[in-house]
Amino acid sequence: MKRKLTLVFLAFIGLITLGSPIAFAEEFDLEGINTENEYSDRGYLIVAPNRLRFDGVLEPGNTYTTSFRAINIGGKPISFNLTAEPYGVINETYKPIYSEPTNRTKISEWITFPGGTQFTLEPQNGRSKCDDCSVEIIVRVRVPKEAIGGGQYAAVMANIIPSSPEDSEKSFKALARIALAVHSTINGNITYSGAIISHRISTFSFEPIIKTSSTVENYGNADFQASYHLLVEPFLGGDAAYDNTEDKIIFPETKRAFDQNWDGAPALGIFHVTQEITYVDENGDQVTDTFKRVTIICPLWLILIVIALIVLLIIAIIIRSKRLKTGNKKKPSWEQP
């Protein structure tokens, strides 16, 4: 039976080896998936939502709670425990890092799980409803009175427990660890400030793709959302060929590079490309910058053919010109003695 349900991918129990990267919770679409067959040989854990965000600002001295639901949609039981750890990013690509505490990751010390930290979920086995295959996990945050204002970030880690010694040996006794990001802003001296420090739209492309790249820097102490709207229109007018909007979080005191591309462009064409980026400027105001460019898409082989034809045409013109000059130098037969 098909079930239309947009949840969030958390983990499958193919235990990762030591040194493998931590998987990050991301969007996952279950529509059309037959869970009885797809994951029948393993446990498969999903959660919703994929990010915990406390709305508004958190007041120092107060306690807040939120929750997420974990479901085992696989065919075997799965066990995991929960921990809260620092969460940050490095470089402009926003590679996540954990277990490196800073002033912006103090919230990892304030998080507790009132309902417990270890769970075992039975397999869903294709059931549309089951109490033993899912659990609602409560996340509690007690903000200290001395907490500083600005952004605070952590990761709720689901540490998958091997179901047998054999599984542990196969994975070199390493547990799969999956992160669920926690974002919050503490009331106090909050500063929002940012700028677009670089931007580029491709002018010419040999491949069927239109590329844009930009970097937004956050000078403040709290995160803000940057919205990227890419519109591609035919050069001679008509309906939009591509229209896409994506939102990204910019953490405080970081730079974030983002590529927004049209991967399904035709192999040949000329387009008006417009990208609008909405962000928080240096004054803390939400603004929108607009960038426009005409982009040409043409495959390299076609350019080579055109160049070859032009060269052949030039050669033909030169040969014809020489023949005409040679013919003019020859005297007519009736002028000869």
pLDDT of amino acid 186? 96
Report the number of secondary-structure helices (H) and strands (E) in the chain. 4, 21
Cα separation, 115 vs 135, in Å, equals 10
Check residue 133 and report its DSSP letter: S
Whether 186 contacts 110, CB under 8 Å: no
Please, what are the domains in the chain?
6-186 (2.60.40.10), 194-297 (2.60.40.10)
pLDDT of amino acid 74? 80
**pLDDT tens digits, one per residue of 192-225:** 999 999 999 999 999 999 999 999 999 999 999 9
pLDDT of amino acid 54? 80
pLDDT of amino acid 159? 85
Pairing of strands 6-12, 44-48: antiparallel
Whether 39 contacts 57, CB under 8 Å: no
| SS3 state of residue 98 | strand
Q: For the stretch 39-56, what's the b/e string if a residue is b when 16 or more beta carbons lie within 10 angstroms of its beta carbon?
A: beebbbbbbeebebebee
pLDDT of amino acid 317? 87
Check residue 335 and report its DSSP letter: G
pLDDT along the chain (337 residues), means of 10: 35 32 46 52 77 86 92 86 93 89 94 94 80 91 95 91 58 56 93 97 94 97 97 94 96 96 94 97 96 94 89 88 70 53
pLDDT of amino acid 120? 92
Q: pTM of the full predicted structure?
A: 0.77
Query: Vertex 268, ends 262 and 272: CA angle to 5°?
Result: 55
